Amino acid sequence: MAAISGGKTYHHGDLRNALICAAVDLATEGGPERVVLREAARRVGVSPTAAYRHFDGRGELLRTVRTHAQRLLADAMERAAAREPGADDPALAAERRVAALCRGYVGFAVDQPGLYRAAFCAPRPAAPDEPAQDRQTPDPELRAFTLLREALEALARTGTPRFGVRPASGAAAWSAVHGLSLLLLEGPLRRLSAQRRNAVVDTTLAMVVSGTRTH
Amino acid sequence: MAAISGGKTYHHGDLRNALICAAVDLATEGGPERVVLREAARRVGVSPTAAYRHFDGRGELLRTVRTHAQRLLADAMERAAAREPGADDPALAAERRVAALCRGYVGFAVDQPGLYRAAFCAPRPAAPDEPAQDRQTPDPELRAFTLLREALEALARTGTPRFGVRPASGAAAWSAVHGLSLLLLEGPLRRLSAQRRNAVVDTTLAMVVSGTRTH
DNA sequence: CCGGAATGTTCATGCGGTAAACATCGGGCA
DNA sequence: TGCCCGATGTTTACCGCATGAACATTCCGG
């Protein structure tokens, strides 16, 4: 049983999870660099080294947070797409879905900058010995990318025959929304007014939708 | 006179510059997070606190490195554009210049990951009190962006009249190359083979060139 | 009921940022 | 010329963080 009453027990009962929650909170507040083992332990009310019973160290804790953040990002995208009204024209619907997913993506980044950055924090230093992988799909875990790619493929299928989708257009589209998010978040485009920001987002989405098609 | 002979003098003579060089080296080796005040001082052969006579602290040192890295990035872009052969058709030439600049951008990121990341390291934590600026041009210092925007404007001018460039297309194009760079560098697209990477770059550039035009 | 495995805790080490007090040097001014 | 001040380095010190080692407590299966 978890300790229900206020009385502290020597064993926490669910420390791993509690630490993850605290770490996610930290990331939410200040991004990956604020995910600090000692602080997470402090918030849970446990000694710093206790965390080592559940994680290899700060690195693994951070990786766990990253996984959570990626999930939340994909959730936000799906919610945004679900809110989008359907359309009679399937091509229009597909186009709208792509745009909605992208908006959800950028919206999550802007609303949850800490989590967004945590979702893409690199496992530094990158092990240079890892084998080159040649998939176009980078990581099955990354639902965000899958959503985007599938939406683009659906868009291609609905198009008139003279349209097609370039092979790596998923990655290209992703690049655009990812770069846009980072420039808005912590890059030189932070500090834009909401109005200008929307204009930039719209222009970028137009580029993605119209620019991924061959003609 | 600077100390030419091996003999150490109490005063370094050009410590600020020496520290900057060391810090740039550190960033080159391991990105902004490896820019460590103590290590820079160590390399220069000076006590850690000496740096405080020339910088407000690690933050300012890092900001200085960032400025240097941005300059190097823009230089790389210009070199890439300069290597590009001209074309008789001005529209084609303008298009090539945009592509070359973008390639230079991504190439710099891939060749100099540490410096590239340093060029965009955020001044964390971002002061939330700073006023929203409404320029489309984020920072006159950022020559990289200026180059890209001007090339896109030139491209628009050469186009047949039915083409135009969307207002924020500079930011959109920048988003694409920036996101692409980061995904390739430390994101889920690292570990792509050079071949796949080139395919992704080509697709993204095509998106930028064809997708920034209204039609 | 007992002993080991899980799970926490206390110490200890090392690194990095930074401030305060002290030392040294170089150059201008009496 | 000689002295004194300001610029530039150094020492010492404090704090937070990551992490390992040794010790303590609890729980659970035999």
Give pLDDT tens digits for A168-185.
889 999 999 999 999 999
Measure in Å the smallest separation between the Cα of A131 and chain B Cα atoms: 7
Contacts of A138 in chain B (CB under 8 A): 187-189
B4–A contact, CB cutoff 8 A: no
**At residue A82, what is the residue type?**
A
Average pLDDT over residues B24-48: 97
Q: How far is the CA of B137 from the C1' of D25 (A)?
A: 62
pLDDT score, position B107: 97
Q: What is the pLDDT of residues B171-193, one digit of tens each?
A: 999 999 999 999 999 988 988 99
- Strand D: residues with CB below 7 A: A 9-11, 36-39, 48-49, 52, 57-59; B 10-13, 15, 46-50, 53-54
- Quick one: B176 exposed, middle or buried, by C-beta within 10 A (0-12, 13-18, 19+)? buried
Q: Which positions in strand C are less than 7 Å from the protein's CB atoms?
A: 6-11, 15-21, 24-26
The DSSP string of B52-120 is GGTSSSHHHHHHHHHHHHHHHHHHHHHHHHHHS---SSHHHHHHHHHHHHHHHHHHHHHH-HHHHHHHT
State chain B's maximal CA–CA distance in angstroms: 70
Range of B7-16, B36-45, B146-155, B181-190 with top mean pLDDT: B36-45
Check residues B209 and A27 and name the one with the higher pLDDT: A27
Using the CA of B47, give the nucleotide whose C1' is nearest: D10
Tokens of A103: 């908006």
Tokens of A8: 């502290």
pLDDT-based confidence at A101, cuts 50/70/90?
Answer: very high
Q: Which of B78, B58, B73 is nearest to B113 (CA)?
A: B73
Check residues A52 and A14 and name the one with the higher pLDDT: A52
Q: Is the peptide bond before B85 cis (omega within 30 degrees of 0)?
A: no
Average pLDDT over residues B51-57: 97
Residue in chain B closest to A211 (alpha carbons) equals B211
Using the CA of A54, give the nucleotide whose C1' is nearest: C7
- Quick one: B199 exposed, middle or buried, by C-beta within 10 A (0-12, 13-18, 19+)? middle
Q: What is the pLDDT of residues B91-112, one digit of tens each?
A: 899 999 999 999 999 999 999 9
Q: What is the pLDDT of residues B133-174, one digit of tens each?
A: 666 566 666 899 999 999 998 988 886 654 556 678 899 999
Q: Do B180 and A191 touch (CB under 8 A)?
A: no
